[in-house]
């Protein structure tokens, strides 16, 4: 049974659980009617099922290669990318003035969910371009926007993000790439970047690199970082790719998974670049791109989880061991858990996207604060769910899951990096308990009040489930107040389990809403609330342990064992 894009599940969430209707009531998204959204989900699902999914295995078994400095992509990727570009899918949420559709990011995230499940390695390419489009829209000069946005939105050109250097991973302030003014408004960019996804591409006319670099005499640390547009080919007077720029791919990384997506070591040797935004303000511009990408990466995890779950369920249905293994209680436990967590993660991600869109449409700071708070949860929980579900999928397959030909292991290998992309999940958790609670925990407590209000409203129909959700939110509220009184190190020591607890409570809220719709939704909600939500108790116990026990171990204890 081939991959089937989960358009029906997404449609249900956007209709019943995280309603998207308020978006179409705004002037900005008035065209995003239910009929239009439904049509795009149907067409997007068809693209995923018929064009992208058949390339999933090819990307793994026939990865890109570097031949005499020229990248050769996986056979079939060029044709599939052309279908993505021709359908306008890269510009779903992009500005209309430059050729985009101007539709909600919520719809774009739903489409990226389906594309990630179909073929994550190829989906990465347009997702990175979308992030670059947003960064340029908000920070670039009119001249740069006029030149680059139409070509990026159409898919003629692709975009990348160049942050990481060998000595500067999460510590971006340690980067050494230099930008020397050339006297004509351009700069000579010199340095090396690593881990650059789709750093080169042989099915677009130009690859446009956003590169972080330092101007002469720039302040130390992140305060002295600027952002530059550095294209593979220098645009000529007509805006078409001209002479080759002084940059190239040094090598391709040998990765655990995601083999179909080339991860490049890039060398910039006096390459010509144009400043994006203000000098020494590159991090602000880059964070625009990264925040988009963080939600997108969370959605990638959800998409892969969906595909891994489908494959495991198909195997369980067909595999006979004392009867079909789908009838065995433990296999049913794994599959039900997988499906329940996917629903929770998908609902959280879409609720974050709706908040992001409502902030853009209304200018409301409350919506912006909500989106900012939900972003690290959506990213970390979405990718953690992808990893857990893919790992469980291998287990459902038993010994065959360890055999590459079944394809089950590929999902685990491919999705594992998403917990590292765009700031590790530990960094997401520290952001949650740090910057995102700099408001004194106001947004966190408001979200918990909403959970409890929803639980109160559900008491008449399902008192036991409603009580479980209400009590979980209350315990989380108490731990939130405890965290707010702690020093940063103690907060950070418990940040990861705290984020998971918050995700479980939010997921339970959305499952409780779905429960009211009856049918299979009801059974799945009971699996989540009765079997998965109780894990929040252990998570919060760990979160409240603080840092003392961790630092009671010496460095030598941790290294030597």
pLDDT in tens, 234-292: 999 999 999 999 999 999 999 999 999 999 999 999 999 999 999 999 988 877 777 77
3-state secondary structure of 33: coil
Contact criterion met (CB below 8 Å) for 196 and 212:
no
Q: d(Cα 137, Cα 144) in Å, to the nearest integer?
A: 9
Residues 3, 56 contacting (CB under 8 angstroms): yes
Residue 266 and residue 249 in contact, taking contact as beta carbons nearer than 8 Å: yes
* Local structure of 127: helix, strand or coil: helix
Tell me the three state secondary structure of residue 237.
coil
User: Could you list the active site residues?
Assistant: 422
Q: Is the pLDDT assigned to residue 561 strictly greater than 70? A: no
Q: Tell me phi and psi for residue 537, to 5 degrees.
A: -60, -45
Residues 64-88 pLDDT 10s: 999 988 999 999 999 999 999 999 9
Q: How far apart are CA 274 and CA 91, in angstroms?
A: 23
Residue 462: half-sphere exposure toward Cβ, Cα within 13 Å: 23
**Mean pLDDT for the chain?**
96
DSSP E strands in 127-172: the ranges are 157-162
- Render pLDDT for 444-494 as a digit per residue (tens, 0 to 9): 999 999 999 999 999 999 999 999 999 999 999 999 999 999 999 999 999
> What does the pLDDT read at residue 4?
98
Q: pLDDT tens digit string along 151-190?
A: 999 999 999 999 999 887 777 778 899 999 999 999 999 9
Q: Which residues does 504 contact at the CB level (< 8 Å), separation at least 6?
A: 344, 472, 532, 533, 535, 536, 539
Average pLDDT over residues 352-361: 97
């Amino acid at each position: 049974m081939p991959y089937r894009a989960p358009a029906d599940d997404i449609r249900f969430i956007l209709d019943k659980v995280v309603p998207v209707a308020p978006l179409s009531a705004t002037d900005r998204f008035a065209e995003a009617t239910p009929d239009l959204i439904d049509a795009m989900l149907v067409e997007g699902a068809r693209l995923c099922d018929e064009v992208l999914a058949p390339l999933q295995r090819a990307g793994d078994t026939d990865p890109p290669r570097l031949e005499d400095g020229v990248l050769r992509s996986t056979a079939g990727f060029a044709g599939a990318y052309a279908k993505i570009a021709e359908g306008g899918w890269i510009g779903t949420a992009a500005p209309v003035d430059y050729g985009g559709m101007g539709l909600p990011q919520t719809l774009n995230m739903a489409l990226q969910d389906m594309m990630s499940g179909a073929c994550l390695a190829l989906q990465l390419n347009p997702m990175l371009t979308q992030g670059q489009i947003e960064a340029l829209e908000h920070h670039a000069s009119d001249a740069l926007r006029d030149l680059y946005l139409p070509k990026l939105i159409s898919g003629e050109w692709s975009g990348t993000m160049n942050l990481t250097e060998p000595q500067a991973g999460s510590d971006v302030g340690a980067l050494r790439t230099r930008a020397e003014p050339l006297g004509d408004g351009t700069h000579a960019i010199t340095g090396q970047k690593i881990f650059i996804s789709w750093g080169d591409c042989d099915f677009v006319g130009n690859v446009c690199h956003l590169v972080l670099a330092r101007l002469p005499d720039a302040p130390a640390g992140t305060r002295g970082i600027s952002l530059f547009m550095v294209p593979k080919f220098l645009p000529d007077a007509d805006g078409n790719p001209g002479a080759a720029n002084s940059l190239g791919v040094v090598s391709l990384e040998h990765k655990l998974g995601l083999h179909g997506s080339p991860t490049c070591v890039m060398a910039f040797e006096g390459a010509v670049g144009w400043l994006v935004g203000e000098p020494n303000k590159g991090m602000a511009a880059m964070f625009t791109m990264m925040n988009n990408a963080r939600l997108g990466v969370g959605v990638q995890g959800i998409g892969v989880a969906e595909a891994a779950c489908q494959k495991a369920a198909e195997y369980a249905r067909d595999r006979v061991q004392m009867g079909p293994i789908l009838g065995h209680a433990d296999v049913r436990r794994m599959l039900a858990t997988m499906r329940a967590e996917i629903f929770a993660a998908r609902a959280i991600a879409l609720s974050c996207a709706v908040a992001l869109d409502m902030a853009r449409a209304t200018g409301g700071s409350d919506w912006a604060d909500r989106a900012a708070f939900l972003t690290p949860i959506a990213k970390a929980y979405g990718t953690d769910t992808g990893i857990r579900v893919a790992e469980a999928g291998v287990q459902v397959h038993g010994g065959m899951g360890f055999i590459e030909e079944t394809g089950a292991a590929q999902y685990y290998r491919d999705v594992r990096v998403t917990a590292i992309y765009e700031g590790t999940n530990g960094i997401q958790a520290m952001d949650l308990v740090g910057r995102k609670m700099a408001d004194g925990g106001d947004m966190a407590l408001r979200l918990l009040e909403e959970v409890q209000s929803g639980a109160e409203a559900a008491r008449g129909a399902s008192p036991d489930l409603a009580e479980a959700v209400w009590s979980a939110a209350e315990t989380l509220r108490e731990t939130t107040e405890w965290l707010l009184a702690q020093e940063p190190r103690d907060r950070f020591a418990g940040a990861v389990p705290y984020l998971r607890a918050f995700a479980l409570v939010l997921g339970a809220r959305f499952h409780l809403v779905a429960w009211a719709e009856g049918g299979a939704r009801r059974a799945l909600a009971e699996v989540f609330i009765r079997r998965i939500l109780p894990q929040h108790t252990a998570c919060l116990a760990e979160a409240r342990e603080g840092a003392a026990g961790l630092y009671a171990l010496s460095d030598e204890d941790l290294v030597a064992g």
